[in-house]
Each structure stands twice: as structure tokens, then as C-alpha cells.
Amino acid sequence: MTVFRILSVLAGALVLAATPASGARDWPDVIPLPTGFQPEGIDIAGGHTFYVGSIPTGAVYRGDLRTGQGEVLVPAHQGRAAIGIDVDARKRIFVAGGPTGMAWVYDARTGETLASYQLATGAPTFVNDVIVTKDAAWFTESQAAVLYRVPIGPGGMLGSQADVQRVPLGGDFEMGPNFNVNGIDATPDGETLVIVQSNLGRLYTVEADTGVADLIELTGGSNVLQGDGILLDGRTLYVVQNRLNQVAVIELTRGLASGTITGLLTDSDFDVPTTIAEFGKYLYAVNARFGVMNPATQPYSVVRVER
């Protein structure tokens, strides 16, 4: 093979690697999960590998967006739960433990438990979602005006139980009835968090250093009621509105102080989607199917929608 031919092949390979979604048109639009899995959180990491957590068992399923195949990576554990999940660059799965008040960290390659944290004590509590930044894992609490921070030290070292911080939400944030803060994301530098308040349909930025929350003023729609998982991509914010079976698309201004709802994404296969992850030009939403009868015997799935 000539040098020119070798360089051409390498260039082609680099182009393909740089555009992971270019060949994704023929990938499955609906990916089945194990019967009775009862999913909630999803993340995509390591190419086209996705991870989904099981609400009642704490299990984590690992699958392939390209083939639709997968298997349970983290087995079910008595007394555990998996609501929101996030996978960091070090191949660790951070899991919010819902009504347990706990959080867990698993090895995304082996499923081994790397750490566990008691974030909340006493009832009521619901540790709902998580985002990992360069120096911390941030967990939301739906039953109190607080975020939980687990520090991440140099070299990715996980903080201990004694290092867990309870960060009160201040500023514009006010508690309402039932479920409050749900989904969370962060700017690339980790200095600003974005949260959604499900019951009131409000969005806030939160200063990571202080916990001060500023209401994001919306136009094109007054709120994002039943907001669940969120995804911040540059200045575009996607908000899953679970029981409305749609994803609100919001274009934020510089500084994230305000935004405009510019569209709604939906799909006939949506069945109470809760959280989303992105791959190329697609979003992948997990169907939680809240309210279905006999959930332990029902089918569940991940649904792809073009954005």
C-alpha cells in the first residue's frame, strides 16, 4: 500500500471518528430494557455505551446504542435504589439513591462498588439526580432546599463520608409542595449549576461556591412543569417534562439569566420519559412508565429522538 493510500485511509478513519452520529441513522430507535427493570436515569459514555439505573433495585444496565444489546452490569442490591446517574471521565457511575438518602459510585467497567455515602438522614428525603464536575459530584434533594456535594480531589480521589457537604439553596429559590428540585447539570467549568423545580416548573442557576439560586426568566412559555432530567449543551437547555411526554428546548442567553422556549420534542414511543443523554444529533430518553399497572412485569425501553 502506498504512503498516499495509507494517509487517505487514516484521514477517512479520523473523519468517521469525529462524526460518531453520521452512521447512526440505522441504529435502533427503540432499545428494550429488561422486563420489570423500572428505569429512571440514563447516561452515555465511552462511545456508544449507555447506562440506565433501576429505581427499586439499584441495578445498573449497560447497553450499546448501535446494536441495542446489553446486560445488567451492577446487580440488584437489597436496600439500594438508582434514580439519576452520571458517568465521569474516569469510568465511574455516580448514582442518586432516591428515598434511601444514599449515593453510590460504581466502576463502569466491572460494576464493583467503589464508594457509598449517606447524604440525608431522617424522612422525608429523595436524592433525585446527580452531575459530576471537575471537583465534585452534586446531588439534588427533592424534599428540602439543599444540594449535596461530594468533593473529588486531585487525581480524581473520591471524598469520604466526612467530606460530604450540605449546601442550602438561597437567593430566589422557594420550596413548594411535593417534589421540588429534580434534574441538574453544570457549565463546563463547574462553577454554575442549573436545576429544575418540578412542581413549580421553574429553572435556576446556582452558584456552586455559595448555593445562591437565580431564577431563569423564560419567554415562549411560562414554565416547564413536571420538569425531570435536564441536559445543558452550550446555551441550549433540554428539559424532560415526564408526564407530558415531551422535551422542552430552551435557548439561553449569555450568562444563562434568561431563555426562550423555542420548541418541544416528542415521539409516539414516549411513555413518561424521565431523563435524557445525548449522542451526536440524537437524544436518548428512558421511559419510566410511571403509573403503569404491575410494573414488575412490564416492558421498558430507551427511545431515540432527533433534536
Task: Over range 265-277, report the average pLDDT.
Answer: 98
Instruction: Please tell me the total number of residues recorded for the chain in this structure.
Output: 307
Tens-place pLDDT, residues 51-102: 999 999 999 999 999 999 999 999 999 999 999 999 999 999 999 999 999 9
| Residue 299 to residues 88, 244, 268, 276, 289, Cα–Cα distance (Å) | 29, 20, 16, 19, 9
- Helix H or strand E encompassing 17: helix 3-18
Encode pLDDT of 89-135 as tens digits. 999 999 999 999 999 999 999 999 999 999 998 889 999 999 999 99
Stretch 267-292: mean pLDDT: 98
Q: What is the pLDDT of residues 203-244, one digit of tens each?
A: 999 999 999 999 999 999 889 999 999 999 999 999 999 999
Look at 144 and 2; give whichever has higher pLDDT.
144
If you average pLDDT over residues 181-202, what whole number do you get? 98
Average pLDDT over residues 171-183: 97
Predicted pLDDT at 278? 98
Does residue 97 contact residue 55 with C-beta atoms inside 8 Å?
no
Domains of the chain, start order: 33-306 (2.120.10.30)
pTM comes to: 0.92
What pLDDT band is residue 20 in, cutting at 50, 70 and 90? low
Grouping H, G, I as helix, E, B as strand and the rest as coil, residue 112 is coil
Burial class from Cβ neighbours inside 10 Å (0-12, 13-18, 19+) for residue 112 reads: exposed
Q: Is the pLDDT of residue 148 over 50?
A: yes
Q: What's residue 122's pLDDT?
A: 83
Q: Which amino acid is at 304?
A: R
pLDDT score of 25: 81
Angstrom distance (rounded) from CA 210 to CA 196: 18
